[in-house]
Chains A and B, each alone.
Chain A
Amino acid sequence: MKPDSRIGAGGDSPPAGSGTPLVELRQISKSFGATRALDDVSFEIKYDETLGFVGANGAGKSTLIKILSGIYRESSGEILVEGQAKAVSSPTDSRSIGIATVHQNIDDAVVFGMTVAENLLLDEIAATSSDLFMNQRSILKRARAVQEKLQLELPLTAPIEALSASGRQEVAIARALVGAPKLLILDEPTSTLSARETEKLFDAVRDLRRRGITVLYVSHRMSEIKMLCDRTVVLRNGKIVSEQEAPLDTRKIASAILGELVLSTKHKSRPGGEPIFSGRGLRARSDSAPADLELRLGEVVGLTGLVGAGKTEMLEQICGRRPVESGAMRLRGREYAPRDAAAAIAQGVVMVPEERSMQAIFPGESLWKHCTVGMLPFFSHFGFLDRRKETAFARDVIQDFRVVCAAAEVPIEDLSGGNQQKLLVGRWLKNSWALVILDEPFRGIDIGARAIISRALREFSEHAAVIVCSSDPEEVVEVADRVLVMVEGRLRYGGRADEITSEELSEIMSQTSAQDRQDAREVTLQ
């Protein structure tokens, strides 16, 4: 890998109209046991385009990306690069035919404890062909050369952990570009970024396109696809169901992604009954504007906003996981100020946290233990647990939420993400609580699981107040009776869910994010 090879150069793409696409996928199929993750998938990636690749969770997007990046091998089919069939059987193969992938989790692509320069040249440092002796100076020198070619400005000598999430992502993308790829795959690049960081990423992607680098942009967010892509390919249940050229019609894309299930989840907004929870003068962060929030019996409230808008911070205050910034809360008319999550649960306020594997999963523990862990007092007498009652409860959850599993005794890792989520949400919907808070309950789950959870939440809300938080406006419209939009810590909009479409909600979010971008510019000018 020579550092002086064509980094970021768009000049050597063949003359337009030559007809051969950069990458062509022919009848790619992939099976895992009896499950067919990809079924006869064929499409082309043309030179110099930004191709949006969308689909619901579990549609097979990540399987296809793993095939292109050499992590999985296709069961059948062919990959052609510049007209020639290529075998992609390892990540090294993938890189050598000019495909670079930046995976969803940025922190998998950077090594903490190393400088930005070292991270940038990681592939070179790891290569067996490189010099045995390297020192900071020679690495820095080469990193500077790379930086110059890529026209980037990175703090090369800073430790990587000093950078923000978007800064680390910039390094990860730059690292992918060091090898002068023909195709850059970005897998859900905005999923861990804040609103402002997302804007920076968009600028970076537009810049790549200007330089003539072909990008395969994977996302499930309509607004991003519309903003960035020339063309989209929609995957559903492992099949290509739609291909569209710009100008993109997000409604058409959405219905292609969701299929017929989207119709079955339509509903009328219910008015909501007596107030269960009210908060006056709450702030998402100490510098946010204060907001009032009322949650009523018999309605599902959907809270949306871009990642980093402050939704989670607000909800965590309500469920006792974070100290209250300001204001006062009342629960069923009484003063409510939980000291911690345990106190909140004791008063009937429960929360399904955002990060499943980090905040809800106990590695190696069985399904039934996961079902009861948050409500152990219900299953014990004088501290002694009633195991029969626990497993009976777990079987109920498994049955009602159609959790696909061998038995209630298997470890939770045996389940797919969607089934884990059904179990982890379902366990809270079997008892009477005052308020149930769900933070991104649909993240990383497929559409079937989403439908089951949505339906259960609407039923459950007859007896409790429910608030669902999601950065995807479609999900919110699908499940909620009333919608709230949070922007930069402020509640910007509130209204009935059946009077607004997800596109309109995205618009509210994108309008304001354009304003924020303006703000950001002003800040940098100062």
Chain B
Amino acid sequence: MTKQDIQPQFESAAASPQSALARTKDLIYKYGLLVVLAAMIAYFSYAQPFFGSFINAMFILQAASIVAVIGLGCTVSMTVGGFDLSVGSAMSLAVMASAGAMVIFDLSGPAAILIGLACGLAVGLFNTFLIVVARIPDLVATLATLFLVNGMTLLGVGGQSVAEGMSVDGVAATGRFSPVFKWLGSGSLLGIHASVVVAGLVFVFVFVLLNYTRWGRAFYAVGGNPIAAAAAGIRVARCRMAAYIISGCLAAIAGMMLAARSNRGDVNVGDAYLLHAVSAALVGFAVLGANRPNALGTLTGAVFVAALINGLTMFNFPYYAQTFVQGLLLVVALLMSYMLGPKKRG
């Protein structure tokens, strides 16, 4: 092997002619999911022309936007090798806190938004405390946070929903949802729905952060091998903290988008979104052969699910079968990234 090592570099270490099978596998691994998505859209548009209209496209993106925002938060926590189960509860907390701030305490829209964001920050910091300071495994720690935060939200509003005119201690609350806040749910910018705009901005932020900044590189390094990351001078604890704070804050933004859309705050609305967000992030592993958490993949995953459900609904597919179809999608995506991807050697 000595001879081989002394020879000049860039030689055919792995450049043996690939077999046709290997090449096909590689193509499926990279583009398979995108091809399936394109084929699905093409088929739905052909069979039901309204599916492909601009209005319906907006419906789909709007439906995808909230899942995408939380999913992007999950993605960030996954890049540092973590897993944030508490995003749903952070979302619920932000919903109730921001709605409550306006309806019960009669605060302005911007103040409510700040309070919502502060909730996300607080959840992120609490997770950081459990995971970085107390060294509790991520999954366990965020599960505990999930229950704790959900419980806190319930206690805070006495188990009831927050809506305009709700009764507080027997008296009808006078506060209203502020127009600034409502814009998040029903406004639009240049004909594009506000929640789509917000999700787009969040996507750009996460995409640039993860792919083009040294912090993003550091996040992936921490997720890949925390010991090696520390040895390379990356401050691992700080990266984990930043990731969980981003995750909490994005969940809070998603919560406020939901509250603004429905003009009310329902108890534990976030629970349902947790699994959708996680599955969007996991489906995203298969996009362009990334085989790891990535922003573009998560966005694709969220849009994929929204388009699928929108299309199936249009074809009167029973609503109770949606979960099954979504599960199928997740399994296929995971099989693609784990079976066709390069084998990680131990």
Could you tell me which A residues sit within 8 Å of B by CB distance?
A: 33, 35, 37, 58, 237, 321, 340-342, 344-346, 351, 353, 358-365, 369, 373-377, 379-380, 383-385, 398-399, 402-407, 410-411, 413-416, 418-419, 446-449, 452
Whether A346 lies near B233 (C-beta < 8 A) is yes
Whether A342 lies near B344 (C-beta < 8 A) is no
State the Cβ distance, A376 to closest chain B Cβ, in Å: 4
Complex alpha-carbon distance, A263 and B39, angstroms: 66
Complex alpha-carbon distance, A361 and B235, angstroms: 17
Whether A405 lies near B10 (C-beta < 8 A) is yes
A-B pairs, 5 with minimum CB distance: A362-B224, A374-B232, A345-B233, A376-B214, A448-B5
Whether A398 lies near B9 (C-beta < 8 A) is yes
Taking CB atoms, residues of chain B closer than 8 Å to A446 are 1-2, 5
Residues of chain B from 213 to 250 with CB closer than 8 A to chain A in the complex: 213-215, 217-218, 220-221, 224-225, 227-235
Whether A404 lies near B214 (C-beta < 8 A) is no
State the Cβ distance, A469 to closest chain B Cβ, in Å: 15
**Chain A residues touching B, majority SS:** mixed
Taking CB atoms, residues of chain A closer than 8 Å to B9 are 398-399, 402-405
State the Cβ distance, A132 to closest chain B Cβ, in Å: 31
Which segment, of B12-20, B96-104, B105-113, B274-282, faces chain A?
B12-20
Whether A341 lies near B10 (C-beta < 8 A) is no
Whether B214 lies near A410 (C-beta < 8 A) is no
Whether A362 lies near B221 (C-beta < 8 A) is yes
Whether A380 lies near B12 (C-beta < 8 A) is no
State the Cβ distance, A398 to closest chain B Cβ, in Å: 5
Whether A35 lies near B4 (C-beta < 8 A) is yes
State the Cβ distance, B237 to closest chain A Cβ, in Å: 9
Which of A361, A363, A373, A449 lies at the interface centre, i.e. has the most chain B CB atoms within 10 A of its CB? A373
Beyond contacts A341-B232, A373-B217, A402-B6: 20 other A-B pairs, Cβ-Cβ < 8 A, are A237-B2, A340-B233, A341-B230, A346-B233, A359-B231, A363-B225, A364-B292, A364-B342, A374-B233, A383-B213, A385-B214, A402-B8, A405-B9, A406-B14, A407-B10, A411-B342, A413-B344, A416-B1, A446-B2, A448-B6
Residues of chain B from 1 to 38 with CB closer than 8 A to chain A in the complex: 1-16
Whether A359 lies near B2 (C-beta < 8 A) is no
Taking CB atoms, residues of chain B closer than 8 Å to A452 are 5-6
Taking CB atoms, residues of chain B closer than 8 Å to A407 are 10
Chain B residue nearest in CB terms to A447:
B2
Chain B residue nearest in CB terms to A365:
B224
Taking CB atoms, residues of chain B closer than 8 Å to A415 are 13
A-B contact pairs, 21 of them (CB 8 A): A340-B233, A345-B232, A351-B231, A358-B225, A359-B228, A362-B221, A362-B228, A363-B225, A365-B220, A373-B221, A373-B229, A375-B233, A384-B213, A385-B212, A385-B217, A402-B6, A406-B11, A406-B14, A446-B1, A446-B5, A452-B5
Taking CB atoms, residues of chain A closer than 8 Å to B128 are none
**Known pairs A361-B228, A413-B345; A384 contacts B212 (CB<8 A):** yes
- Determine whether B291 belongs to the interface, using a CB cutoff of 8 Å to chain A: yes
Complex alpha-carbon distance, A449 and B218, angstroms: 29
Taking CB atoms, residues of chain B closer than 8 Å to A402 are 5-9
Chain B residue nearest in CB terms to A419:
B5
**Known pairs A58-B2, A406-B10, A448-B6; A380 contacts B233 (CB<8 A):** no
Whether A321 lies near B230 (C-beta < 8 A) is yes
Complex alpha-carbon distance, A104 and B8, angstroms: 31
Taking CB atoms, residues of chain B closer than 8 Å to A410 are 13-14
State the Cβ distance, B341 to closest chain A Cβ, in Å: 9
Chain B residue nearest in CB terms to A380:
B214
Complex alpha-carbon distance, A514 and B28, angstroms: 62
Whether A364 lies near B215 (C-beta < 8 A) is no
Taking CB atoms, residues of chain A closer than 8 Å to B213 are 380, 383-385
Chain B residue nearest in CB terms to A356:
B228
State the Cβ distance, B222 to closest chain A Cβ, in Å: 10
Complex alpha-carbon distance, A376 and B8, angstroms: 28
Of B5, B11, B232, B235, the contact of A373 (CB 8 Å cutoff): B232
State the Cβ distance, A252 to closest chain B Cβ, in Å: 21
Complex alpha-carbon distance, A344 and B217, angstroms: 20
